[in-house]
Structure 1
Amino acid sequence: MGDKIGLACIIDDDSVYVNLVKRIIEAKQLCKNLLVFENGKEALSYFEAILTNVSEENIPEIIFLDLNMPVMDGWEFLEKFISIKNNFGKVITLYIVSSSINPLDITKAKNMKGVKDYLIKPVTIEDLESIFSIV
């Protein structure tokens, strides 16, 4: 593996899942820093705020996005994020991570511009190692 990912981001309201993924990422040293947001609105506010002062180290290289969250769900976040993501001048790889096995959700997500893949929870250590090694 080349350079370690500088910053990854998890947007998910499931604290048990988030803590598990954080522990795996830290134990395997898959990235240097991790941002965590409980819903799409929190995450979108962060991204809109850094648009005024874009700094390379504040922009995640990978985003793991849940679909079912309160306040602003993953679909709403994606719609708004896709319209601003090109302003960051950096490739941001976005993965949907959901417990939904609904084929309509999977197809819709995979057909959305900017979504790399759809992962069904629980994500495995192997999944994470694979994702962080190819970015």
Structure 2
Amino acid sequence: MNKKIKLACIIDDDKIYVNLVRRIIETKKLCDHLLIFKDGKEGIDYFETLLQNFDKEQLPEVILLDLNMPVMDGWEFLERFTKIKNKFNSPITLYVVSSSINAIDIEKAKSLSSVQNYLIKPVKIDELEAVFNKTA
């Protein structure tokens, strides 16, 4: 039997996309709780603060990361996140979820050790289910 994801995280500035994915996750009961950040800076601030006051219950098991965002984009988030990820001593599965179909973006993201895979928006329900079931 699969272990259910307790906490997942979406880092994306597209409110419509975020609401759609949130509703799918809630309807399909893919995880218990969801963190939502509107840009990479909010996301990295959360993880850097968590490092100082580490509580495993507050660490998401899955991150869905957009690339194109204001303030701090997904690439900048990945650069900083990659430097601190191993300090958590817990598996965190990160998926880049972007509308970019640029092969350079896809290959660059997939080449990073912290990125599990690259999904193209709009994400299909079965893709989301696979993300959460693969991690569980």
What TM-score, normalized to structure 1? Answer: 0.98
Deviation at 1:93, TM superposition (A): 0.4
What is aligned with 1:90?
90
Deviation at 1:2, TM superposition (A): 1.3
Distance 1:63 1:48 in 2: 15
Map 1:1-135 to 2 at 5 A: 1-135=1-135
SS of residue in 2 equivalent to 1:101: coil
Deviation at 1:7, TM superposition (A): 0.4
CA-based RMSD: 0.6
Distance 2:10 2:70 in 1: 15
SS of residue in 2 equivalent to 1:80: helix
Letter in 2 for 1:100: S
Give CA deviations for 1:45-78 in whole Å, capped at 9, x if unaligned. 1001110111111000000000000000000000
Question: How many equivalent residue pairs?
Answer: 135
Letter in 1 for 2:11: I
SS of residue in 2 equivalent to 1:97: strand
Q: Percent identity between the aligned chains? A: 62
Q: Identify unmatched segments of 5+ residues in structure 2.
A: none
